[in-house]
Amino acid sequence: MQDDGDDLYGDPVNPPQYRFVDVALVTLYSHPHPRLFEDSYGVLVSSRKLGEESLCVLALTAIRSVVGMVPHRVQLQEGGMQDRFFLVQKMGMELAYTGTEYDDDQDN
Amino acid sequence: MALEHSSEDAYEKIRMGIQACFPGSELPSFYQVKRLLCDFTGVTSIISHMCINSCVAFVGPHADFDTCPECGEPRFDQLRQIRGNKHPRAVFHTIPIGPQLQALWRHPESAEKMHYRRNKTQQILDALLVNDGLVNTYDDIFCGSAYLQGALDGTITPDDTLLMISIDGAQLYESKESDCWIYIWIILELSPDHRYKKKHVLPGAIIPGPKKPKFIESFLSPGLHHVSALQCEGLRIWDSAHNRDFITRLFLFLACADGPGLLTMSNFVGHQGKNGCRMRCPLKGRRKPGASQYYPVLLKPNEYDVPGCTHGDVNVYEIGPSTSESYVQQLNYLLQACTHKDYESCRLETGIVGPSVLLGLQPHLILSIPECFSSEMMHLSGANMAALWLDLWRGTIECASTDNRANWRWSVLREQRRWEEHGRAVAACKPYLPGSFDVAPRDPSLHANSWYKATEYITWIYSLCPALLFQVLPHDIWRNFCKFVAGFRIMGQYSITPTQLERARDFLAEWEYEFEQIHYQRRVDRIHFIRPCVHLTSHLASEAAHVGSPICSSQWTMERTIGNLGQEIRQPSDPFSNLAQQGIRRCQINALLAMYPELDLSREGANPRASEDLGNGYVLLPKRDKRPIKIQGHEAQIISEYMGQDGSPNIRRWGRLRLPNGQIARSEYVESQKPLEELRMARNVIVSD
């Protein structure tokens, strides 16, 4: 992830006709490998990096959470050894890091 | 207060320094501050005598004993007793909860937080009306049927104070010598993002070791007696937020502990018993011929005729936890036993050893027994199940003389070489696990047993192993393991929808059957593979419907409280008494902060310098480019397109972004400046469309 806060506040050199937006430049991972995903009941989420081609811009506020993507090497029927990345999410994350996420819920 | 982690000595030196510079100023001495704290908050401790070997506390029926009924050690210092004064050889401190609760209402800001349950209950009831009686998500204890029923039929009123008690043994240092037992109170009136924090977790008592207390009940007694008294008389509260006086009743909603800890509160037979299930479900255990220990095996073994255990295969969907009516009935039955022999056979039949210590509280102010005993997700996942998987994979589980390890297809880490290889693979994952995931698992082949933490086990087994053991375990066994993980991961969420809960229940129920078929294979000599935790897993889903997501009632908090208190100890010579002092001081400071929130220097909300708050919980954090830079190429083009502008855009790169959930994402811009070994990569994110 690369985030680019186009922040031109309080910068006297630049005239204020510039817009500033808070965006992230990201590259994507592929959809999870379907057979690994199904055989593992959705536990093994294994993707490839899509690289430079998938580069895209997102609003920063689209980012939901930080996860781990760990490299692993698997033997696949359809094409020998492959270097992939599997997804790691933390159990009970929400409580260990108590943010404002569910503060909002309380107000509904 | 800022000196929480420093020594008394440091305080005195700073005080002298300030007084030298400003001769007029009168700073209170350390002792005076202690007295002031006590007077302001009303929080202090009850000191009770105990046996020097931690057998019993000299309270209740033991109050008048001069020697320990267990080990015979004298209660008082013999030398001093000769001189005529009775000086106890060991004491422990109980910190009464009453004044601490009152303090929480004394400032409008704190008092407002105590209204969480009221508001949440209303929300849930509204949702129930809309959804035909189903909650949106199980995301708190109050979403469970147990609470809602109580709230609807009036057993729990809005003015009550709901509490959870959690007890655990702890090791302060690496040496065994530092064992001790702690119990804490968690105030369910507060919202989950407050109630589990250090500021609001109230230590109840600290029971020093090093030996394991034989009658923990007696150590709980002063604290529970206090609660019981408050239950009888009611605790007067002044709600400063609404300027209202009311009487609150303390309602003990949940009690949680690991297996042995829970037994001290429940007084059940324990997991080796025939009715060993802590949920008191009707599942009868089976044992090996000639052995006394029972295991919760569903499938009937082949060629098996141990008396009392020959029932057919059990359908896991048909066994649910027991109710308090049946507990009371069975307890009465047990108490009618006249002879020891009678008693023993009643005990075997009912699975109850004696009345629970919690029956000493006012019966209408506890969630009934056994409903209040929560299954402990953390021990179950981090310790018990983790140990079982490892024993299987490493082939370290006991192998009967009639069995042969060579036939254990699942023992893929049995060879030392394979085990070390796996260990290295685990350690190699570290740079890719964000720092917000807490400690990354170390190489288990080097560190197992030595302070390998529950969170390390959990990440290792439930997050890494599905991938690391793919194509290592035979495929069918790997799938069975994954099914378990799938169910477990759902149960480990803070917020679980009813649909997810159903999925988790099915996963875990199917898993249990398949697990027995794959590993135990109806073999009498493998009955011991089916440890109690295998069976407890099947209760997780139904329990969540009952008392909300398991993680809310788990002992995560306990570990942190001990960690915190341990850190505050500065006198290794007598760690226990110092720990008790720290516990008391913690309570006093928490009470003080509740009364004067403005004293809290570490209050949330303050963003660091050079950060930028984007609203909605997103904050950009340094470091960042000093001045905007122009970029070219692919990146520039994409940004321009996004903004609908021509020309190359000016950008300023930021290093870190705090997310609404508290995690901090880092950009490649900062992460690329560090070598991989030093990194806990935090630039992989999930985005919403």
Q: Do B617 and A24 touch (CB under 8 A)?
A: no
Q: Looking at the partner chain, which of A5, A86, A100 has a beta carbon nearest the beta carbon of B467?
A: A86
Q: Do B438 and A2 touch (CB under 8 A)?
A: no
Is the CB of residue A59 less than 8 Å away from at least one CB of chain B? no
Closest alpha carbon to B184 in B254, B135, B133, B284 = B254
Q: What is the pLDDT of residue A97?
A: 41
Is the CB of residue B195 less than 8 Å away from at least one CB of chain A? no
Q: Which tens digit of pLDDT belongs to each residue from B26-76?
A: 667 777 777 777 777 778 888 888 888 888 888 878 888 888 888 888 888
| Chain A, nearest residue to B504 by Cα | A41
Listed in sequence order, the DSSP H helices in B319-381 are: 324-335, 340-350, 377-379
Is the CB of residue A63 less than 8 Å away from at least one CB of chain B? yes
Query: Amino acid identity of B424?
Result: R
State mean pLDDT over B134-162: 88
Dist CA B449 CA B468 (whole Å): 21
pLDDT tens-place values along chain A, 108 residues long? 334 444 444 444 544 456 668 889 999 999 999 999 999 999 999 999 998 889 989 999 899 889 999 999 998 877 788 899 999 987 764 444 433 222 222 222
User: What's the CA dihedral at B45, B243, B366, B93 to 10 degrees?
Assistant: 0
DSSP state of B138: B
Dist CA A76 CA A61 (whole Å): 37
Is the CB of residue B625 less than 8 Å away from at least one CB of chain A? no
Q: Which tens digit of pLDDT belongs to each residue from A64-74?
A: 889 999 999 99
Spatial contact of B140 and B540, defined as CB atoms under 8 Å apart:
no
Q: What is the pLDDT of residue B567?
A: 61
Q: Which tens digit of pLDDT belongs to each residue from B338-365?
A: 888 888 888 887 878 878 878 778 878 8
User: Measured between CA atoms, how close is A16 to chain B, in angstroms?
Assistant: 13
Give B108 or A102, the one with higher predicted confidence. B108
Spatial contact of B525 and B288, defined as CB atoms under 8 Å apart:
yes
User: Measured between CA atoms, how close is A71 to chain B, in angstroms?
Assistant: 8
Q: ipTM for the complex?
A: 0.82
Chain A, 21 to 50: residues with Cβ < 8 Å from chain B are 21-26, 29, 36, 39-44, 46
User: Measured between CA atoms, how close is A9 to chain B, in angstroms?
Assistant: 11
CB contacts, 8 Å: A67 with chain B: 434, 684-686
Confidence grade of residue B13 (pLDDT, cut at 50, 70, 90): confident
Q: Does the pLDDT at position B238 exceed 80?
A: yes
Residue whose entry in the numeric block shows the structure tokens 């009487």? B247
Q: Do B653 and A3 touch (CB under 8 A)?
A: yes
Contacts of residue B437, Cβ cutoff 8 Å, sequence gap at least 6: A68, A88, A90, B459, B680
Closest alpha carbon to A71 in B668, B471, B432 = B432
Rg of chain A's alpha carbons, rounded to an integer?
19
Is the CB of residue B276 less than 8 Å away from at least one CB of chain A? no
Is the CB of residue B683 less than 8 Å away from at least one CB of chain A? yes
Q: Which tens digit of pLDDT belongs to each residue from B448-486?
A: 566 677 788 888 999 999 999 999 999 999 999 999 999
Is the CB of residue A64 less than 8 Å away from at least one CB of chain B? yes
Domain ranges of chain B: 10-88, 93-262+554-599, 268-355, 377-553, 612-678
State mean pLDDT over B363-383: 76
Q: Do A91 and B429 touch (CB under 8 A)?
A: no
User: Measured between CA atoms, how close is A105 to chain B, in angstroms?
Assistant: 10
| Chain B, nearest residue to A103 by Cα | B193
Q: What is the pLDDT of residue B4?
A: 52
Strands (E), B294-403: 294-295
Chain B, 91 to 130: residues with Cβ < 8 Å from chain A are 116, 119-120, 123
Q: What is the pLDDT of residue A1?
A: 37
Dist CA B515 CA B612 (whole Å): 52
The number of residues in chain B equals 689
CB contacts, 8 Å: B483 with chain A: 41
Q: Looking at the partner chain, which of B486, B643, B663 has a beta carbon nearest the beta carbon of A42?
A: B486
φ/ψ of residue B19, rounded to 5: -70, -30
Q: How many CB atoms lie within 10 A of CB B548?
A: 28
Q: How many CB atoms lie within 10 A of CB B364?
A: 10
User: Measured between CA atoms, how close is A79 to chain B, in angstroms?
Assistant: 15
Is the CB of residue B614 less than 8 Å away from at least one CB of chain A? yes
Closest alpha carbon to B489 in B463, B519, B517 = B463
Q: Does the pLDDT at position B395 exceed 80?
A: yes
For the ranges B97-101, B111-115, B449-453, the lowest mean pLDDT is seen at: B449-453
Chain B, 443 to 502: residues with Cβ < 8 Å from chain A are 458-459, 462-464, 466-468, 470-471, 475, 478-479, 482-483, 485-486, 488-489, 492-495
DSSP state of B274: T
Dist CA B554 CA B561 (whole Å): 13
| Chain A, nearest residue to B493 by Cα | A92
Q: Looking at the partner chain, which of B471, B489, B659 has a beta carbon nearest the beta carbon of A91?
A: B489
User: Measured between CA atoms, how close is A78 to chain B, in angstroms?
Assistant: 15
Q: Which residues pair with B624 in a beta bridge?
A: B654
Task: Pick the residue of A90, A100, A103 with the most B CBs within 10 A to test the interface with B by mutation.
Answer: A90
Q: Do B653 and A62 touch (CB under 8 A)?
A: no
Buried b (16+ CB within 10 A) or exposed e, B291-311: eeebbbbbbebeebebeebee
Q: What is the pLDDT of residue A108?
A: 25
Chain B, 378 to 437: residues with Cβ < 8 Å from chain A are 381, 429, 432-434, 436-437
User: Measured between CA atoms, how close is B426 to chain A, in angstroms?
Assistant: 10
Q: Do B667 and A56 touch (CB under 8 A)?
A: no
Q: What is the pLDDT of residue B569?
A: 56
Q: Looking at the partner chain, which of B438, B470, B654 has a beta carbon nearest the beta carbon of A74?
A: B470
Q: Is the pTM of this model over 0.90?
A: no
Q: What is the pLDDT of residue B259?
A: 66
Q: What is the pLDDT of residue B413?
A: 94
Max Cα-Cα span within chain A = 60
Spatial contact of A66 and B83, defined as CB atoms under 8 Å apart:
no
Spatial contact of A4 and A23, defined as CB atoms under 8 Å apart:
yes
Q: Do B507 and A23 touch (CB under 8 A)?
A: no
Q: Do A62 and B493 touch (CB under 8 A)?
A: no
Report the first-to-last Cα separation within chain B, whole angstroms.
46
State mean pLDDT over B677-686: 89
Q: Do B468 and A18 touch (CB under 8 A)?
A: no
| DSSP codes joined into one string, B427-491 | HHTGGGS-GGG-SPP--HHHHTTSS--HHHHHIIIIIIHHHHTTTTS-HHHHHHHHHHHHHHHHH
Q: How many CB atoms lie within 10 A of CB B668?
A: 17
Give B501 or B612, the one with higher predicted confidence. B501
